Amino acid sequence: MERGPALLCTEGMLAGQRFPVTSEGLRVGRDAGNEIHLDDAGVSRQHARVLLHNGAVWVQDAGSRNGIFVNGERVPDHKQLKIGDKLVVGAHTFELVPPDGAPAPRPAAPVAPAGPPPKGAPRWKVWPFVVAVLFAVGFIACIGVLGSRGDDGPAAATTPAQPTYSLSTMLEPGAAGPASAPGAPAPAGSPSVEQALAVVAGADPASDLAKVPDPPAGTTARQLQDMASLNYDSGRLADARIQYQQALKLDPACEICRVRIDRIQGELAAKVQATFDAGMRAYDARQFSQAISAWETVLMLAPDPADPMNARAKESLARAREAAAGR
């Protein structure tokens, strides 16, 4: 089991307690089943999660009501932590500290200024090398500028770098998005992979949202988010997606709803594909009842007749039922 730094509680009822962060993760919340149980009215039952992934420590908001804060700034979804960062959950403050036995980082020792050269040192031998280096750097820079210019116009204006988050995906399993490096989430406001593919295929996100059934009368967007979070934790992804979409219909400015919808759609797509493949393996092994069960689950997870997986599951299901009847 991958082990890493620890969370040291510095303020609150758990002050002085140390919680090692592992790849299995630490659940933080008011529920007694959490690894870090906080008996605090300002903390949700399932408030946050801290885990070690590929040598880095991440914290994720689990859909809490009052949010989580790192170094005084609220974290809307997830963020990578470094040694010394302060995590605030309700009335409790935690500091990320090095693992037991690991030496704390030390400041670099000051470098003593170089003394005068010894008598008789041939100073004239230094400046030719400096001039040569400066000449080479300038030459390379000129080549780069000339190469970046067009044939008939001025050099192209540089585009400012887009801001990026620190998961999904997602660091979370199943999360995905276009990014500048593997594992890095998409820039804020940019579409996810699923959204981009849907746009290429001619899908209209606004019309998709319009197909979502209206939420129950009197239900608020916050209540829908809480219900969606519970369904997501219980593995009921389809129900969680609908409730986040209903919350988005009530509150179009709900950015966390958009993030969670994208993540759930990616996880649903992966689950549908895995379930369909399991049905194919069962069918090839002539285990027709198992294949039928798997493809019925695919139809439940992908009920839209326009979904290609829905059509494939229907065709496969018909073959499996014929094969089972002909035994």
pLDDT tens for the chain, 327 residues: list them.
556 799 999 999 999 999 999 988 999 999 999 999 999 888 999 999 999 988 899 999 988 889 999 999 999 888 999 999 999 999 999 999 998 755 445 544 454 545 554 454 445 555 666 667 677 767 666 555 454 444 443 433 333 333 333 333 333 344 433 333 434 444 444 444 444 444 434 445 555 666 778 888 888 988 888 888 888 887 788 888 888 888 888 888 888 888 888 888 888 888 889 999 998 998 999 898 888 988 888 888 888 888 888 899 999 989 999 888 886
Cα–Cα distance between 37 and 31 in angstroms, integer? 6
Please name the residue that has the structure tokens 């200024």: 113
First to last CA, the chain: 47
Judge residue 239's burial from the number of C-beta atoms within 10 Å of its C-beta, 0-12 exposed, 13-18 middle, 19 or more buried: middle
Q: How far apart are CA 204 and CA 138, in angstroms?
A: 51
Tokens of 18: 């140390």
- Classify 44 as helix, strand or coil: coil
Q: How do 86-89 and 68-70 pair as beta strands?
A: antiparallel
**Helix, strand or coil for residue 139?**
helix
3-class DSSP state for residue 184?
coil
Given the structure tokens 């996100």, which residue do they identify?
Answer: 205
pTM: 0.37
User: How many other C-beta atoms lie within 10 A of the C-beta of residue 80?
Assistant: 15
